[in-house]
Amino acid sequence: MSIKSPRGIRTDLQTPRTKLLYFIYLAPGSRIKNEPGIKSKVCKALGYKSDGHFHYDWNYLLKSGMLREEHDYFVVTDQGKEEFALHSTASKSNSRIIAIGITLIFFFILVKIGVLPEQAIAVLGVVLVFLGYLSSMISKRNEPELPIRARILLKEMNR
């Protein structure tokens, strides 16, 4: 008896259907114009092996409410955008970390050459703690919500 390996999130993110939704999600305004031949162009660009598979995925996204047709556009709905919430949050966090690093280097140089007093480092620390707390509160929205019974069970298991 062979045991199938679990798919995992990384594998699910690489499915053709997810790539199709992500393609439209990345388009300006998370929408593409419904013009003649657009589906064929998208199908080829994403490397679908058959038109049938593409249309199956396309119809799935429409029926599931992740994509809708609106005013001559195909638009990713809020439900569809939620599929990429973790990715978006991680990307934003990475950008923030880079910005913090650049800011720290900039502040260090300004303090070393005497443009800023040393107290500016403390002010920067307070600002960074506040921004970190704010980011933490925002990221809580992306946590899976467990039922109360499941939370109680976790507490019991951790004793």
Residues 152 and 124 in one domain: yes
Contact 25, 84 (CB under 8 A): yes
| Rounded average pLDDT over 50-57 | 92
Residues 63 and 96 in one domain: no
* pLDDT digits 0-9 by tens, 117-129: 888 888 888 888 8
Rounded Cα–Cα distance for residues 32 and 47 (Å): 18
Residues 146 and 113 in one domain: yes
DSSP H/E element including 75: strand 73-76
* pLDDT digits 0-9 by tens, 67-120: 999 989 999 998 888 887 766 666 677 788 888 889 889 988 998 998 988 888
User: What domain count does the chain have?
Assistant: 2
pTM of full prediction above 0.95: no
Question: Residue 114 sits in which domain range?
Answer: 85-157
Residues 101 and 77 in one domain: no
Residues 131 and 67 in one domain: no
